[in-house]
Amino acid sequence: MPQQQAILETRGIHKQFPGVNALTDVDFRLFPGEVHALMGENGAGKSTLIKVLTGVYQADAGTVLLGGTPVRFTGPLQAQQAGVSTVYQEVNLCPNLSVAENICIGREHRTAGLIRWGSDRQRARDLLERFQLDLDVTAPLGSCSLAVQQLVAIVRAVAVSTKVLILDEPTSSLDADEVEQLFGVIRQLRAEGVAILFVSHFIDQIYAVSDRVTVLRNGTLVCEEPIDRLPHLELVKRMIGKELEVLEQLGDAAPRRAGTADSTEAPVIAADQVGRRGSVAPFDLAIRRGEVVGLAGLLGSGRTEVARLLFGADRADAGRFTLSGKATTLRTPRAAIAGGIAFCSENRKTEGLIEDLTIRDNIILALQAARGWTRPLPARQREELVERYITALRISPPNPDMLVRNLSGGNQQRVLLARWLITQPRLLILDEPTRGIDIGAKAEIQRLVVSLSEEGMAVLFISAELEEVLRLSHRVAVLRDRKLVEERINDDDLTADAILRTIASGAHQ
């Protein structure tokens, strides 16, 4: 294949955002008639690369070549006109228009300025037939399943002569049959000579449909390989990598913590076959007093989805919850908070902190919400609490009037933690609490988790870094492709390699 001319190629692409090198010297090649998987963890630079390829961003250095000639797209529309179409995870079509219209709008057949509906519908039907899709083209798109909408988006993209089709996580909300249908379309397009760039977090899907794979990590290209020469385990290892420095510095932050908590007491929370369609397959999970349960898995494996179910942020459509022995329904975050559950979201900025408020206001928020607005916290008590947690969590600067937006990532994380800690929860859910913060802050947050669990708090700890999960957890649950595939006691047999193997290939038989 290398002798062939690449249809889309980048040479030495650099892209910098304030404070981050999003892409460093990336040479990427996409050939006609191949399905090429682009893999990488969060922040690896996948979406930046796609945006550079489609003209949403301009590269700081390097060139993009289409069919061997350098191009400079000014936007997705121009890229599309040159034959590079993108279908995003969120379907970018109009749900209120019919299927036929979504395919044809903007290029309708007209006579004297009036749209010829019959001819347009026929064109849409023909296109859909080409991919063995049997649809009522007059039905509004919104009445179709997400999978069908996704397929319609692809059909619209290839209705004009497309040379390159970029699919950005098209399968993240589809079920198995729908994925197969999508893959049928992908394979057919490949046979027709279209080059397809496929981004997905589902390892099995990558192996099912791709010919070659490119792995990015921290903005650099790690490898470009035919998929059959890269075993599952190797792929996962290359995606995650190991931050050696981090490991060395944190080596003795906390001892390894095998063993389980007292099993006679009812667990703080027990989920019995809880699941949500399109989000996570039904799973069992119990967390006891003083226990840290780690959730491991790749990005998109359902880690956050599990946390959101336990916090009532998403409503489970199957299964039962038991809180300290009492059956309950966690319908809303309010119910979860009343049940003593606290949730630190991975998106500190959008789902956690209110950046334009002060440290004090952010810390007090959850406690005040629990009391209700009719019972404001007395000023003295408020100052005392804020003071105590600023000191305890070493928030710096220790100035309660500081706006949260001006704090570093690590300090923001501590403010968020403080907010939930003062409500004295029985279960603390931490979703990626150490992401994007410096090493020192990381170690401190880890120490805090250990001391909280020693005081009897139950903790669900979610992290992309396996070493961190292994160091802190009593038990580790592994998620893979939105299924909880394994739950193990964290003893000496459990190693990062063993977890990697589970992530790569499913539970041990």
Partner 1 sequence: MTTTTVSQAPLAKALAGRQRYIPAIGTLSLLIAMILVGSVRYEGFFSGQIILNLFIDNAFLLVVAVGMTFVILTGGIDLSVGAVVALSAMLCAWLVEKHGWPPLVVIPLVLLIGLLSGLGMGAIIHYFDIQPFIVTLAGMFLARGLCYTISLNSISISDPVFTDLAQMQIGLPGGLFVSSSAIFAVLIVAIAFVVLHYTRLGRNVYAVGGNKQSAMLMGLPVARTTMSVYAISGFCSAFGGVLFTLYMLSGYSLHAVGLELDAIAAVVIGGTLLTGGSGFVLGTVLGVLVLGVIQTIITFQGTLSSWWTRIVVGLLLLVFIALQRVIGARQR
Residues forming the site for partner 1 (CB under 8 A):
76-77, 80, 91-97, 101, 105-106, 108, 110, 113-115, 117, 136, 138-140, 142-143, 156, 317-318
Judged by beta carbon, residue 85 or residue 412, the one nearer partner 1 is 85
Judged by beta carbon, residue 34 or residue 120, the one nearer partner 1 is 120
Judged by beta carbon, residue 263 or residue 329, the one nearer partner 1 is 329
Query: H/E element holding 504?
Result: helix 496-505
Judged by beta carbon, residue 4 or residue 273, the one nearer partner 1 is 273
Closest approach, Cβ 105 to partner 1, in A, equals 6
Closest approach, Cβ 400 to partner 1, in A, equals 36
3 state SS for 152-168? HHHHHHHHCCCCEEEEE
Judged by beta carbon, residue 44 or residue 91, the one nearer partner 1 is 91
Judged by beta carbon, residue 176 or residue 507, the one nearer partner 1 is 176
Query: Phi/psi class of residue 131: alpha, beta or left (left: φ > 0; alpha: ψ in -120 to 50)?
Result: alpha
SS3 344: strand
Closest approach, Cβ 175 to partner 1, in A, equals 14
350: which DSSP letter? I
- Distance, in Å, from the CA atom of 22 to the CA atom of 407, rounded to the nearest integer, reads 22
140: which DSSP letter? B
For residue 180, count CB atoms less than 10 angstroms from its CB and return exposed for 0-12, middle for 13-18, buried for 19 or more.
Answer: middle
Closest approach, Cβ 115 to partner 1, in A, equals 5
Closest approach, Cβ 92 to partner 1, in A, equals 4
Judged by beta carbon, residue 329 or residue 391, the one nearer partner 1 is 329
Q: Which two tokens stand for residue 148?
A: 């069908």
SS3 347: coil
- Distance, in Å, from the CA atom of 137 to the CA atom of 101, rounded to the nearest integer, reads 8
Closest CA relative to residue 462, chosen from 365, 343, 381: 343
Judged by beta carbon, residue 76 or residue 312, the one nearer partner 1 is 76
Closest CA relative to residue 37, chosen from 193, 181, 203: 203
Closest approach, Cβ 100 to partner 1, in A, equals 11
- Distance, in Å, from the CA atom of 197 to the CA atom of 47, rounded to the nearest integer, reads 12
Closest approach, Cβ 347 to partner 1, in A, equals 20
Closest approach, Cβ 101 to partner 1, in A, equals 7
3 state SS for 386-445? HHHHHHHCCCCCCCCCCEHHHCCHHHHHHHHHHHHHCCCCCEEEEECCCCCCCHHHHHHH
SS3 285: strand
Closest approach, Cβ 144 to partner 1, in A, equals 8
**Strand partners of residue 47:** none
Judged by beta carbon, residue 110 or residue 508, the one nearer partner 1 is 110
End-to-end CA distance of the chain: 38
Q: Which two tokens stand for residue 328?
A: 């309950």
Closest approach, Cβ 148 to partner 1, in A, equals 12
Handedness of CA 238, 240, 242, 245 (dihedral sign): positive
Judged by beta carbon, residue 135 or residue 366, the one nearer partner 1 is 135
